[in-house]
Amino acid sequence: MTIAAAQIVALSPLLMITGVGCLALLLDTMAKGRAPALWLAQLGCVAALLAVANQWMGSGSSQPIWSGMLIVDRMALFLDGVLIIAALATLLVAAPFMREHEFEHGEHYALVLFATAGGMTVVHATHLLSLLIGIETMSLAAYLLVASWRRQPAGAEGALKYLLLGAFAAGFLVYGTALVYGTTGGEMSYAGIAARAARAADNPLFIMGAYFLLTGMLFKIAAVPFHMWAPDAYEGAPTPVTGLMASGIKVAAVGGLVRLLGSAFANPGLALGHAGWVRVLGGIAFATMTWGNLAALRQENVKRMLAYSSIAHAGYLMIGLVALGQKVDGAQPALLVYLAAYAATTLGVFTVVAWVGRRDDERLLIRDWAGMARTRPAVALAMTVLLLSLAGVPPTGGFFGKFYVFRAAMQSPDLAWLVVAAVLNSLVSVYYYLRIVVAMYFRDPVRPWQPFPSVGMAIVLFVTVVVVLALGVVPRPVVELAAGGLVTHW
Amino acid sequence: MPTYAYILVSLALFFVGAAGVLLRRNVLIVLMSVEMQLAAGTLALLSFSRALGDQKGHVFAFFVMALAAAEAAVGLAIVVSVFRTRRTASLDEVNGLKG
Amino acid sequence: MTDLTLTLLVPLLGAILVMVAPWGERTSRPIGIVAALVSLGQSLFIVRDFDKSIGAFQMAVDRPWVPSLGIRFHLGVDGISLWLVLLTTLMVFLTLLSPQAMGLHKTRSREFTVAILVLEAGMLGTFLAVDLFAFYVFWELMLIPMYFIIGIWGGERRLYAAIKFVIFTLVGSLLMLAAILYLYAQVHAVTGQWTFDYATWATITLPRGPELLCFLAFTLAFMIKVPLVPLHTWLPDAHVEAPTGGSVILAAVLLKFGAYGFLRFALPFFPLAAQQTAPIIAWLAVAGIIFGALMAWVQDDVKKLVAYSSVSHLGFVVLGILVLSQKGIQGGIFQMLAHGISTGGLFLAVGILYDRRHTRRLSDFGGLWKPMPVFGACFLVMVLASAGLPGLCGFVGEFLVLLGTFTAGKDWQASGLAAPMFAHPALLAGLAAFAVILAAVYLLTTYQRVMFGPLDKPENRDPQVRDLGLRERLVFAVLVLTALVMGMAPQPILDRTAASVQELTANYRFRLAEARANPIGPARRVVAGKPSARPASAPAGTARPF
């Protein structure tokens, strides 16, 4: 294996984020104050975005890196862009949030970058080792980020649950790798596994290994029944971190699943049939979205409700994965568009939640939001648009993403029931999203709300709302980006 | 010894570890169970590697060891953080977040 | 030639203007009224430029939206939607003009105007959409502004009414989305192209099982909106709790979407399924006519009374549509327009009463002719129009529907429809006619209890109870005039709806005959032999197996 210069250039976004993360960590120890680390991190994100753009314009073909451990293709670059923007948004929101609640520390910024680097590795991964490294880098950084608000015991608790179950999942990933490795005669790369899958498909150990890997990944996207950590982790984490977890980490994990299921386990013998993962994933998708929506109905805490809603969205995303397994053509671009819309919406929503609280008064209950439309009409309107996007009401990006995924699913007659179930679930979700709207608009203010001035949060909120509306009204550029510009040979 | 023997042992270790994670109440025991799972995976990797005459398994095992160390470090740091406020290492009592 | 996109843009631009204009509370109303007036002018131009000999869509705007998915921004107007567009712009204009629009909470007029204008854009878009994706987007777009209007400016139980409205409507529309997606996939399977185009979808026949399911999904969505009993329970709550402006638009325009959607989509796409379920729907419609009338009779709350009268009147529309003859459908369309005018006027009148007296209970009124004679005259015209007095708008619609239903048996035979749509049309017509008598009873007694009799309650003698102001007179002048013109000279209206209705029924009959001839067919494309005026013609129909 040679490390050619061309490959380094191809991986430049990933390397940049990692490098800047390390530098930010160093800078934090050396420089006075947090600002230098923050600025370095933000500049690093922008530079990495430019690198992504540069790579995108470059070759149209996919480039395997390091003997098939990673790949640089349009899908990976698209998701890289989403992840880096999520990181940048998190940085912009985290800094004022931490200053307001007085717990700022520079490692936080470095950890955000490390999590992003891990996520980028996951979406570039075409080998079980790179997948594991990516997942674990992302997760370890996430555990620390969740616990980073030391004064809040909820953070440490959430982080503990996250870590214990996350490590549990890592065990599944490792053991699954071992089984797949053994039963395919020494293959760990997706291409290799795919090549040997036909022969190994009736080996029970291979199937077990595949399911162990799937289980490990499903933990990361908080699918039912592996979701137990998510509500506590999302609620206990500082709100900007919750935003990153709900957007960036979920996007990376789903991206990783797309590659894993789309190439390594694409073999019909493994995918279809009674014990195939398509069926299993279909059932899990149904359970996830239903359970997530029903649980969200009973929540009074906004963060916890949004955590369950995030679980439900993972369910909708899995419908796209199921369609992918049925080899539907439009499934992959649909998933990418939905991921982009979902990430933008989630970042916006959590920005508002982060903005609402003040130093000793986080205002996380729905009734604390009463009357916000009177005092802060622009923010209330933005929140309404974002909530409608989460619910899937036109003309928002959330609607278009759901439409696109459901379209893919409907092309396979077995999946029609899933679409109907998803559509009814959307109905249920409208009810609890509207509860926040009701509080903001239809109730009188209980306590006056004085948000702390923050340019960063305003920028993030504005941009996410614009993106969400743009994706709803003029989705064409993104659709063509996701569908046309991608080379989907594995 | 035939490979399947190693695999059986590693499977046993894995499920014992998994049971430990799900059933035990003391955080440190749970962390140990996780390590046991990773060890089981490592064992499986090494046995397959030896049986196939391939090196990838050995390499992967190294990475798993590094991963296990990192996870243990982070895990213990978080446990300490929890212990500072809760004064307990029992998972049953770590449930301030409910709902 | 009028550009339909502009028709949609004007309300939206108006809304944006209202949002950013300085001195919001004072300037919002005038800006809103101007925007609504421009919109009204545009719809009048559309009526003027409309070619009544063409049955297909005219003045089409057809731009690619997301080409790879077959989504196009395709608008068009035909005989069925023409007058509904005019009704929409007229009622929005009158709502914004009337001082009672916001009910008793006369604050935050800026947000109210924005909500109404966005709602108008959604309503116009729904009527004008030819592409199914665009239709669905605009259909859902109408939901949220109405939710806000009820929830912010509504009465005591506004939260309950608003959320009930949303949930009921969404159940239907989300199931319709699933059906749309299914059809979309089937269209692709049959024709090989991804498209949401109405003309293409209208030529695809599905196998019986899926056809019935899709028909039920579409019909559920539309029948909730009509509303058809027993899906009507959201309506009394929504109407009572909504502010006057909200009630007017809800009754005059929003309820029309049920019948419009059924006529435009459910019938043409699924003829065999429609044939199978028509008897049930017809009986439900007549049941609604009678039930609505009976419920209205016993109400003490005037607003609820008018709400139930809506249920009753709109039953006529559904019945007329189901008859599937020229008379029936044209009668149904006319009844939609007439109901809009008369019930819109009734809600405005009730709103004025509520504004003056802060009560809606019939027992609190009496003898109001003395202090409010001009109001009394206008109210009388609206009541008579609603009751169906010949010479006013309500008569023409009801008469055509009843005539169509009564003679349905002969019409069906004459037109070559192999089997009747439903049995005992004459009986149904008789029952519906009986309800007309009921309507006269409850409407006239209501009027008597409000306006006539001794002015014995001291609150009614309060100087607060004053007659109509200038703006209110203007609004009612328009309504009264329209009711008269429609009642005396309905021919121009009927002329322009004729060609489109003809084309729709012809296509329906053709596809129904084909479906009955091949009952166990796969999904296939079926094209009527008659050339359509639409330039984009489909290739010669071949039965392409799935």
- Does A151 or C448 have the greater pLDDT score? C448
Tell me which chains share at least 3 CB pairs under 8 Å with chain B.
A
Q: Across the interface, which of A388, A419, A480 has its CB nearest the CB of C181?
A: A419
pLDDT recorded at residue A330: 83
Q: Across the interface, which of A407, A476, A483 has its CB nearest the CB of C65?
A: A476
Helices (H) and strands (E) in chain B, counts: 3, 0
pLDDT recorded at residue C1: 44
Long-range contacts of C504-510 (CB under 8 A, 24+ apart): C504/C55, C504/C80, C504/C263, C504/C267, C504/C268, C504/C329, C505/C324, C505/C325, C505/C326, C505/C329, C505/C415, C506/C530, C507/C202, C507/C268, C508/C267, C508/C268, C508/C271, C508/C324, C509/C415, C509/C416, C509/C417
Answer whether A393 sits within 8 Å of C144, measured CB to CB.
yes
pLDDT confidence bin for A2, thresholds 50/70/90: low
The continuous run of DSSP H or E covering C60 comes out as strand C58-66
Q: Which of A242-251, C135-144, C452-461, C537-546 has the lowest mean pLDDT?
A: C537-546
Tell me the per-residue pLDDT of A11-60, one tens digit each, with 9 for 90 and over. Answer: 889 999 999 999 998 888 887 777 888 888 999 999 999 998 888 887 66
Tell me the per-residue pLDDT of B1-22, one tens digit each, with 9 for 90 and over. Answer: 788 899 999 999 999 999 999 8
pLDDT recorded at residue A56: 83
pLDDT recorded at residue C535: 34
Answer whether B97 sits within 8 Å of A231, measured CB to CB.
yes
The continuous run of DSSP H or E covering C66 comes out as strand C58-66
The answer to whether the beta carbons of residues C479 and C384 sit under 8 Å apart is no
pLDDT recorded at residue A485: 52
Q: What percent of chain A has pLDDT over 90?
A: 53
pLDDT recorded at residue A359: 77
C144 touches chain A (CB under 8 A): yes
- The Cα A125–Cα C323 span in angstroms is 63
The C-alpha of A341 sits at a distance from chain C's nearest C-alpha, in angstroms, of 16
- What's the angle, vertex CA A113, arms to CA A110 and CA A115, rounded to 5? 110
* Chain A residue with Cα closest to B29: A164
pLDDT recorded at residue C544: 29
The answer to whether the beta carbons of residues A107 and A125 sit under 8 Å apart is no
- Segment A304-333 mean pLDDT: 91
pLDDT recorded at residue B95: 58
The answer to whether the beta carbons of residues A431 and C171 sit under 8 Å apart is no
Q: Which residues of A touch B88 (CB under 8 A)?
A: none
DSSP string across A441-457: IIS--SS---PPP-HHH
Answer whether B44 sits within 8 Å of A178, measured CB to CB.
yes
Q: Quick check: A364 pLDDT over 70?
A: yes
Q: Which residues of C touch A483 (CB under 8 A)?
A: 68
pLDDT recorded at residue C377: 92
- The Cα A405–Cα C300 span in angstroms is 50
- Does C43 or C464 have the greater pLDDT score? C43
The C-alpha of A195 sits at a distance from chain C's nearest C-alpha, in angstroms, of 31
Tell me the per-residue pLDDT of A228-256, one tens digit each, with 9 for 90 and over. Answer: 899 999 998 999 999 999 999 999 999 99
C148 touches chain A (CB under 8 A): yes
Tell me which chains share at least 3 CB pairs under 8 Å with chain A.
B, C
Single pTM value for the model: 0.91
C112 touches chain A (CB under 8 A): no
- Determine, yes or no, domain membership for A90: yes
The C-alpha of A475 sits at a distance from chain C's nearest C-alpha, in angstroms, of 7
Q: Report phi then psi at C77, rounded to 5.
A: -125, 140
Tokens coding C538: 């489909």
Answer whether C178 sits within 8 Å of A427, measured CB to CB.
no
Tell me the per-residue pLDDT of A437-469, one tens digit each, with 9 for 90 and over. Answer: 988 888 887 777 777 788 889 999 999 999 999
Tell me the per-residue pLDDT of A204-215, one tens digit each, with 9 for 90 and over. Answer: 888 899 999 999
- Segment C160-172 mean pLDDT: 92
Q: Quick check: A266 pLDDT over 50?
A: yes
Answer whether B44 sits within 8 Å of A175, measured CB to CB.
yes
- The Cα A35–Cα C89 span in angstroms is 56
- Segment C387-392 mean pLDDT: 91
Using left for φ > 0, alpha for ψ between -120 and 50, and beta otherwise, residue A98 falls in: alpha
- Does C423 or C535 have the greater pLDDT score? C423
pLDDT recorded at residue C308: 94
Domain count across chain A: 1
Answer whether C181 sits within 8 Å of A403, measured CB to CB.
yes
C196 touches chain A (CB under 8 A): no
Answer whether B21 sits within 8 Å of A186, measured CB to CB.
no
Q: Report phi then psi at A229, rounded to 5.
A: -80, -25
- Segment B46-70 mean pLDDT: 92
pLDDT recorded at residue A134: 96
Half-sphere exposure of A12 (CA within 13 A, CB side): 17
Q: Which of B49-53, C113-117, C160-164, C361-365 has the lowest mean pLDDT?
A: C361-365
Q: Where are the domains of chain C?
A: 4-532
Interface size between A and B, measured as CB pairs under 8 A: 138
Tell me the per-residue pLDDT of C196-245, one tens digit each, with 9 for 90 and over. Answer: 999 889 888 888 888 999 999 999 999 999 899 899 999 999 999 999 99
pLDDT recorded at residue C147: 93
Q: What percent of chain C has pLDDT over 90?
A: 52
Q: Which residues of C touch A484 (CB under 8 A)?
A: 68
Mean pLDDT, chain A, integer: 88
The C-alpha of B37 sits at a distance from chain A's nearest C-alpha, in angstroms, of 5
Q: Could you tell me the residue range of the domain that residue A58 belongs to?
A: 5-483
Q: Which of A141-150, A286-295, B90-99, C409-418 has the lowest mean pLDDT?
A: B90-99
What angle do helix axes A302-325 and A277-297 make, rounded to 10 degrees? 160
- Segment A187-201 mean pLDDT: 85
CATH code of the domain occupying B3-86: 1.10.287.3510
C209 touches chain A (CB under 8 A): no
Q: Quick check: C531 pLDDT over 60?
A: no
The answer to whether A and C touch (≥3 CB pairs < 8 Å) is yes
The answer to whether the beta carbons of residues C373 and C467 sit under 8 Å apart is yes
Answer whether B41 sits within 8 Å of A160, measured CB to CB.
no
Q: Which residues have a Cβ under 8 Å from the Cβ of A134 and sit 6 or more positions away?
A: A118, A119, A120, A121, A122, A123, A124, A125, A252, A256
- Determine, yes or no, domain membership for A488: no
Q: Tell me which residue of A167, A173, A112, A148 sits closest to B75, measured CA to CA.
A: A167
pLDDT recorded at residue C465: 77
DSSP string across A167-195: HHHHHHHHHHHHHHHHHTTS--BHHHHHH
Q: Indicate which of C63, C111, C171, C177 best probes the interface with A, i.e. most A CBs within 10 Å of its own CB.
A: C177
Answer whether A175 sits within 8 Å of B30, measured CB to CB.
no
A430 touches chain C (CB under 8 A): yes
Q: Which residues of B touch A205 (CB under 8 A)?
A: 7
The C-alpha of A175 sits at a distance from chain B's nearest C-alpha, in angstroms, of 4
Long-range contacts of C410-418 (CB under 8 A, 24+ apart): C411/C323, C411/C325, C411/C327, C411/C328, C412/C324, C412/C325, C415/C325, C415/C505, C415/C509, C416/C509, C416/C513, C417/C324, C417/C509, C417/C512, C418/C512, C418/C513, C418/C516
- The Cα A95–Cα A92 span in angstroms is 6
Q: Which residues have a Cβ under 8 Å from the Cβ of A26 and sit 6 or more positions away?
A: none
The answer to whether the beta carbons of residues C282 and C421 sit under 8 Å apart is yes
Q: Which residues of C touch A427 (CB under 8 A)?
A: 167, 170-171, 174
End-to-end Cα distance, chain B: 52
Q: Where are the domains of chain B?
A: 3-86
The C-alpha of A411 sits at a distance from chain C's nearest C-alpha, in angstroms, of 6
DSSP string across C453-511: S----GGGGSTTS----HHHHHHHHHHHHHHHHHHH--HHHHHHHHHHHHHHHHHHHHH
